[in-house]
Structure 1
Amino acid sequence: MESIGLRIHGKEDLRIEKFELPEIKDDEILATVVSDTMCMSSWKLAKEGEDHKKTPNNLNNNPALIGHEFAGKILKVGKKWRQAFSAGEDYVIQPNLARDDTPFVPGYSYPYIGGDATLIVIPNEVMELSCLIPFHGQAYYEGSLCEPLSCVIAAFDAQFHLIPHTYNHKMGIRENGNLLLLGGTGPMGLLAIDYAIHAEVKPKTLVVTDINQAKLDRAKKLYPSDEVEMVFINVNNLSIEEQKNLLLKAVNNEGYDDVFTLISVAPIVTLAGELLRADGCLNQFAGPVNKDFKATLNFYDVHYNFTHVAGTSGGNAANEAKAAEIIASGKLNVAKVITHVLGLDAAAETTLNQPSIGGGKKLTYPTKQFTRIDLAKVDPTTTLGKILAKHNGLWSPEAEQWILKNMPDITVI
């Protein structure tokens, strides 16, 4: 059976190729991919090639399918898994398999499973580790965004604070505390805002910073809250000391219980530590590209004020299942983070140019062929433009169905 997919052959060497899938084994599952959203992690993968810790050696002869935020439909189930899964079920995958024996994961390492492909073979270990999860949402793009939301859930769950008069910790952000998202208007920041104001444990005050006023204004418009005090601060052209004074003023000089750094800039990470109140927790959420990335931390505060640091890389199966449940319930409208939509033929160029393209999530429909669409620039007189207008300019199940029905199937010339 043939599949068409985007495979990495080396540094900045991404190719759309047709390849033959092997017959599935008794412990494998055949599936189609309907949607995949892009992550900056895929850009880092493309830049690093074989230097990336999750890629196999000799990529040119052992190319791997890329894309790890995907959803689709199960087509055929090997006999080992027929009690758990059925043909026709919609699924999402948690790519972080969290194995001790190998760093290899879907979307980075395998020849036959990745989000940028028309058909995939899901290997036994994905099911063994509970990383194949049924999805019951309204649209496939919602399923794709379960993985990035799982990363947010993991990060929030990894925060910890002392139980009074003990050295034991309660996990999670501080309820009714002060929460700060530094550089928080990118797609992951927006998901973090959405989760913070809709999760069971909420902060009292949520402060979000960025250097782009338009992005701050958009975030403020997209995420109103009657329960959480929201403050959006433009720190463009401000010195670190000016930023510190402004951010402390936003919370009456109380400091912050939880600070998430969504950018890997050393002075900003140092600032994050200085903004913590007693027992505050700093989360280095953004994954640094530089393996020698370092920032200064005040260890006087660590010892006497019990400040501490957390960090997570991706979610796990439980986080993915929780994300799938929350999204399917409609508590979060994850369409708010999507700014571009494209076919598989545009996936290589888009992956390699994510930083310069800007915007939020880029949503790929791997079975389709069409150039990248900037949702903010769609002609309002077209059919797609009218659909977007019905949903306040946001992507929607209706828009997805229009794409799947009207765009041509992907071909390889």
Structure 2
Amino acid sequence: MNTKAVRLYGKKDLRVESFELPEIKADEVLMRVISDSVCASTYKAVIQGSDHKRVPETIAEQPIVIGHELCGEIIKVGDALKGEWKEGQRAVIQPALKLPTGYDPGYSYPYVGGNMTYAVVPQIVLERGCLLPYNAEDFYSGSLVEPIGCCLRAFKGMYHTDYTNYKRTDGAKRGGRIAILGGAGPMGLASVELAIGYAGCAQVVVTDINAERLDYAKAQSTPEAAKAKGCELIYLDTSSYEDPTEKLLEISEGGFDDVLVMVPVPALFNVAERICREDGCVNFFAGPAKHDLQGSINLYRVHYDGIHVVGTAGSIPEDTADSIELIEKGVINPGVMVSHVLGLNAVPEVIYAMERPSGVKKICYNHIDIPLVAIADIPELAKTDAMWAEINKILQKNNGLWCAEAEKYLLQNAPKISE
């Protein structure tokens, strides 16, 4: 079968091209890849090429397909898998295979990735339990289960201790207060949804130094919607504070039970430690680029107040499955994360532009040919384009958020990509 894909040949060398896929083996499946969420991790791989730990040295001769946040439907099943999978079944891939080589879909393989029309899902993905069934109404949410799963792992990784019996309870404190520092980006928005819908936090405080990003986050995940679910959601611009500690302690009435640090800045980590209440848990979620990044912590508080630090990175298939369940049950709304949509041909330009990040999550629909379109720009496009006018009507019924109905209309009416 012919496929069209975005392939990486070297540093900053992306090419959109068609090629023939091999026939699937008995232990493989053929997947029609509907959507992929563009990720900053892909940008790192594109910039570094084979210097990236997951990218093979042979990409100049054997290019890999980029994109690792993919969702689609199975269109052919190998003979050995016909009892487990069926044609027409929707599925997502958990890209973290945890192999000794470090190889993962979207970084390392020639025939499977998110930015392609059709993919051969190799046996190793199925063997590792990393192809998971997906039954939600839309595809874009399936392309967001990977980042949501990483945030869900962060919530699962936090813990608290009852010091009367030293019994430990895993997870963010239910009914507690949580601060999400540097949290106006995509992972912060996912964490807000999880803090309210999954962890049942009574108070969620999101800080950032970028007022524009904070305003966007507040419009996507609103305090009013949080209040309806029994949660106080506060967005705080800390750009004017030399040290926001006092203000955060005031808002939290003495400190937070849990703190997520979303940006790898030592000063922000120091704030996190200071705003913890007794038994407070800090999750240093941000991934540092520097191997020797240092922070400090008050050891007196570690000993006497029981504050503690954890770090979580990535996710496992269990987190992906749990994220799918949260989406399917409507516990969280991934639509708050979507800022743009695009077609496959626009991917290289969008990836290269990530040197100057903008927006939140960008959903690529592989089988249509549209440029990068901001959800915020659709009302203006609607004035001169009939397709966007209909989509705008749909979004107006959904508080301006991307949704299943908008996706369905776009896929049915947008120009199809030429194979």
Q: Same fold (TM over 0.5)?
A: yes
**SS of aligned partner of 2:112:** coil
Q: Which residue is equivalent to 2:13?
A: 13
Q: Which residue is equivalent to 2:386?
A: none
Shift in Å at residue 166 of structure 1?
4.2
**Correspondence 1:375 to 2:375:** yes
Q: Which residue is equivalent to 1:174?
A: 173
**Correspondence 1:231 to 2:230:** no
Q: List aligned pairs for 1:3-402, cutoff 5 A.
A: 3-99=3-99, 101-199=100-198, 201-221=199-219, 222-223=221-222, 224-226=225-227, 227-239=230-242, 241=243, 243-252=244-253, 254-354=254-354, 356-378=356-378, 379-381=381-383, 382-402=389-409
The residue type equivalent to 2:202 in the other structure is: K
Q: Distance in 2 between matches of 1:342 and 1:384?
A: 14
Q: Distance in 1 between matches of 2:271 and 2:352?
A: 31
Count of aligned pairs between the two proteins: 407
Shift in Å at residue 8 of structure 1?
1.6
Counterpart contact for 1:343–1:367, Cα < 8 Å: yes
**SS of aligned partner of 1:130:** coil
Greater shift in the superposed pair: 336-345 or 160-169 = 160-169
- Cα-to-partner distance string for 1:230-256 (whole Å, 9 max, x where unaligned): 2221101321x2x1111111112x222
Q: Distance in 1 between matches of 2:197 and 2:145?
A: 16
Counterpart contact for 1:44–1:289, Cα < 8 Å: no
**SS of aligned partner of 2:264:** coil
Shift in Å at residue 12 of structure 1?
1.9
Gaps of 5+ in 1: none
Q: TM-score, normalised by structure 1?
A: 0.93
The residue type equivalent to 2:138 in the other structure is: A
Q: 1:292 to 1:8 in 2, by over 3 A?
A: farther
- Cα-to-partner distance string for 1:338-362 (whole Å, 9 max, x where unaligned): 1110001111111222352511110
Q: Distance in 2 between matches of 1:28 and 1:187?
A: 33
**SS of aligned partner of 1:195:** helix
Q: Distance in 2 between matches of 1:74 and 1:181?
A: 37
Q: Distance in 2 between matches of 1:214 and 1:116?
A: 29
Q: Distance in 1 between matches of 2:233 and 2:336?
A: 18
**SS of aligned partner of 2:272:** helix
Shift in Å at residue 394 of structure 1?
1.8
Greater shift in the superposed pair: 384-393 or 144-153 = 384-393
Counterpart contact for 1:380–1:389, Cα < 8 Å: no
Q: 1:292 to 1:61 in 2, by over 3 A?
A: farther
**SS of aligned partner of 2:190:** helix
Segments of 4+ in structure 1 off by > 6 A?
A: none
**RMSD over aligned Cα atoms:** 1.8
Q: TM-score, normalised by structure 2?
A: 0.92
**SS of aligned partner of 1:327:** helix
